[in-house]
Structure 1
Amino acid sequence: MGNFSDNHQVWSLYGESCPEESIPIGRTKEQDILRAGSISKFGRKLNQIKMDSNTIEHEHSIGYVTGNYKGAKADINVWVPNVEIEGEFSLAQIWILSDPFGDDRNTIEAAKSRVSFTILNYFSQSCVVFPQLYGDNRPRLFIYWTADGYKNTGCYNLLCPGFVQTNKNVVIGGTITPTSTYNGGQFEITLLIWKDQDNGNWWFGYGTEIVGYWPSSLFTQFNDNAHAIQFGGEIVNSKSKGSHTSTQMGSGHFAEENYGKAAYFKYLQVVKSDNSFHPLSEDPKYIANKPNCYNIKGGSSKDWGKYFFYGGPGRNENCP
C-alpha cells in the first residue's frame, strides 16, 4: 500500500513550485466557461446535495456522526472511477456540516473526485472526477463551501471569494497521482479540516501540507461547532439513457470485495473541544440510498481504526 501524504500532485512530480508569497492557481479556459453554460454558473454546484435517503439525482454511500465537533480527518483510497457523461461526477469526500438536514445549512467540503463536499453552513474537501468542471476524467483535489445550502453562496476551489490559500505547493483542483488499481497497488491521500480556536477560521490540510482556510465571516452557523461530520462517496445519476447511470463510485466495485478491490476510508477522526484529533470512539451510522447500485460496509481494527469500504458499479442487473 502506498501513501502520498506529502504533495503528490502531477505538477509537483516535475519539481514545479511557486515563489514565496504566491500560490498556484489553475488556469480557467474558455471551454471551461462554455461547459458551465454561463459565467454565473461556473464553479457553482448545479444541483443541491441533500443528505437524506430520498435524494433522487445525487446518490451516496456515507458514514456519519453527530455531535459537537471542530474538525475531521481521514485517509482516502484514491481510484479513477468511470463517469458516464459530462454533467455527472463521482467523488470521495469529507463534509463538515452545521445541520445535516436543514435547508440553509453552512457546509465545507473537501474531496478527491472524478468529480466532486456538504453543510447548510458547510464546507468539504474531496477527491473528485468531474468532466463538466474540469474537462477530463482525472481524479482531482477539490474543496467547496456554502453558507445557505447551495442557494446563492459558495463555489468550488478558488472560483469565487471565500477560501484563502496560504500554501505555494498544492494546486486546488489539481490532478492526484498515483491511483489505485484492482488487485494492484493501493494509494491514499489524507484530508483534514479543523477550526482555529483563536479566530474561528476553518483550516484545510492535504497530507502534511496546510493549504489555507475558510474565514469565519463566511458562515452564519459555525460560530462554535459543526454538528455533523460525514465521510463517503457521492455520484450524480442523470438517467440520460432512461436508466440508471453507469457512473462508478469508488473503485466501481461493491464494499464486500474488500481491500485491493473496493475503495475505502480509514482512520476516521474528529476534532473535539480540546482542539485535538481523536479516533472515532463510536461506530458511524451508515447510509447507502441505492444499495443495489452502491453500498457501504464498516469495520474497526487496531491498524485502521474506524474504517469502511464503499462504492459500486452503478447500473447492473439489480440496479436497472
Structure 2
Amino acid sequence: MHHDNRTFPPENESKKTKLIKTHLKKINKPFVKSIQSPDGDIIDCVLFHLQPAFDRPELNRTVSVDPEEPTSEQKTVEIEPELKQIWSSKGESCPQGTIPIRRTSEEDISRSVRLSKFGKKFSTISQKQIENGHEHATGHVYGGEYYGAKGALNIWSLNVSNPSDFSVSQVWISTNGIPNHLTNTIEAGWTVNPTVFGDYSSRFFIYWTNDEYFKTGCYNLLCSGFVQTTNKIALGAAIVPISTYNDIQIDLIIFIWKSPRYGIWWLKVGPHVVGYWPSSLFTDLGDHATTVMFGGEVFSYQTSPHTSTQMGSGHFSFEGFKKSCYIRNMRVVDKELKLSSMSDLIVTADNETCYDITSGVADNWGSYIFFGGPGKNPNCP
C-alpha cells in the first residue's frame, strides 16, 4: 500500500492519518484472495456476507439472487457482450462465494476535499448547471412511472484536462422534479474520474443517493448500500478493450429494473447480474422513478476559459457512428415489467457549442442518441 508523502503539521498529520486508517479499515474488508491488476489496482476477493452493504444491519441478507427479468417487445434476441476489465484480463478470477472489490488506498482518500466527501459526487442538481461547473447532454423522459431502463453505450478513452474534472457517459434513474422532495438517483455507466480513481482510465461505475447528492450515497462500494452478487465484475475497475475511432466499437449494456416481488432495483451488465440496490436505501425510489436519462456529463471548476475535458468520444454528435459516442436501444420498464421503446424522448444540451446531442430511431438500433464534444474549441471559448 502506498502512503501520502505530503507534509502536514505534526498534530494535523497524526489526526489525518488516524482518520484515514480508520476509514480504510472500515471499507477494505478481509479477503480470501488478492489480485494484482496489470494497471496497479489491487482487487480483493471478499466473502459475499462481508461486503460493505451488510454494515447496514437493516439490509436483508436473504434476498433471492434469481431476479425476475422484464420481458422485451423485441422479437430478436441480441447477444450481449461481456464487460471486460483489466484486472481479469490475464485469466485471474475471484472464487465462487466471493465478490471482487477494488482496494482503496490512502492516496485515494487524500485526493478528496475532505473525508466526509470521499467517494461522493459533487451536487449535480441545480438550476444553474453551467455556472456550478456541470454540463450535460442527455436524452430523457419524465413525468411517468418508470421501473427501469436499458441501453447500450459505447466506451471511449477521453481527455480530462484537470485532475479535479470528471467525464461520464451513463444511465440515470431518478425522482428528479418532484416538488418539495429531495432527488433520489440510481446511476451506472463509464467514467474518467482522476479524483476518485487516481488515473485517466475509463472505468465502470455505479452511484446512488437519496438526498440530492448532499450526504447519502457513493460510487461503487465506497459506502454501505449496493449489494453485489457477481464474482465476475469489479465496480470501479478499468475497462479493456475500448472503442477505436473509425474502427471497432465496444459496447457496455446496462439494464436496471425494479423487482415487483422484492421491491429492489437490480443491475445487469451484459449477461451478468451484478447485484441490487435495496429499496430501503431510498425514499421516493422505494416506489418508482419519475425520470430516466441517458447521456453524458462533464464537471469542471474551470469555466473561463472553458475546460478542454471531453465528453463521450470527444467528438460532436454529427460525426456519427464509429466517431461519436452513442447510446442505442434505449428502453424503459413499465409497471407491467415490460421493456418498451422511448417514443417521447426529449434531448437537451446545456451548452451545445461545447457538447451536443442528436437523437433518432432505427430498425436495428431502436431509439438512440449521439452525444459529446471536445469542450473548449473556437465556438466554446
When normalised by structure 1's length, the TM-score is 0.90
Mean Cα displacement is larger for which, 7-16 or 172-181? 7-16
Long gaps (5+) in structure 2: 1-78
For 1:54-203, list aligned pairs within 5 A: 54-56=129-131, 57-66=133-142, 67-100=144-177, 104-105=181-182, 120-203=183-266
| Runs of 4+ with deviation above 6 angstroms | none
Name the residue aligned to 1:50: 125
Alignment-mate amino acid for residue 279 of structure 1: S
For 1:276-295, list aligned pairs within 5 A: 276-280=338-342, 282-295=343-356
CA offsets per residue over residues 241-281 of structure 1, 9 Å max, x none?
x410000001111101111111111000111111122222x
Check whether the contact 2:80–2:271 (CA below 8 A) recurs between aligned residues: no
CA offsets per residue over residues 193-248 of structure 1, 9 Å max, x none?
100101111111111110011111011112321111000000013217x4100000
Check whether the contact 1:63–1:284 (CA below 8 A) recurs between aligned residues: yes
Alignment-mate amino acid for residue 334 of structure 2: K
Check whether the contact 1:53–1:289 (CA below 8 A) recurs between aligned residues: no
Percentage of pairs with the same residue: 44
Check whether the contact 2:129–2:135 (CA below 8 A) recurs between aligned residues: no
Distance 2:295 2:199 in 1: 22
Long gaps (5+) in structure 1: 106-119
Please report how far the alpha carbon of residue 38 of structure 1 lies from its aligned counterpart in structure 2 after TM superposition.
3.2
Name the residue aligned to 2:111: 35
Distance 1:212 1:54 in 2: 31
Distance 1:73 1:149 in 2: 23
User: Larger radius of gyration, structure 1 or 2?
Assistant: 2
CA offsets per residue over residues 20-40 of structure 1, 9 Å max, x none?
211000011111111113332
Name the residue aligned to 1:257: 319
- In structure 2, relative to structure 1, the CA distance for the partners of 1:103 and 1:270 (3 Å cut) is same
Distance 1:64 1:238 in 2: 26
Check whether the contact 2:280–2:286 (CA below 8 A) recurs between aligned residues: no
Name the residue aligned to 1:25: 101
Alignment-mate amino acid for residue 130 of structure 1: N
Distance 2:218 2:181 in 1: 15
Please report how far the alpha carbon of residue 96 of structure 1 lies from its aligned counterpart in structure 2 after TM superposition.
0.4
When normalised by structure 2's length, the TM-score is 0.76
Name the residue aligned to 1:319: 380
CA-based RMSD = 1.6
Mean Cα displacement is larger for which, 92-101 or 189-198? 92-101
Name the SS of the counterpart of 2:111 in structure 1: helix
How many residue pairs were aligned?
301
- Determine whether 1:309 maps to 2:370: yes
Higher helix share: 2
Check whether the contact 1:103–1:148 (CA below 8 A) recurs between aligned residues: no
Check whether the contact 1:126–1:141 (CA below 8 A) recurs between aligned residues: yes
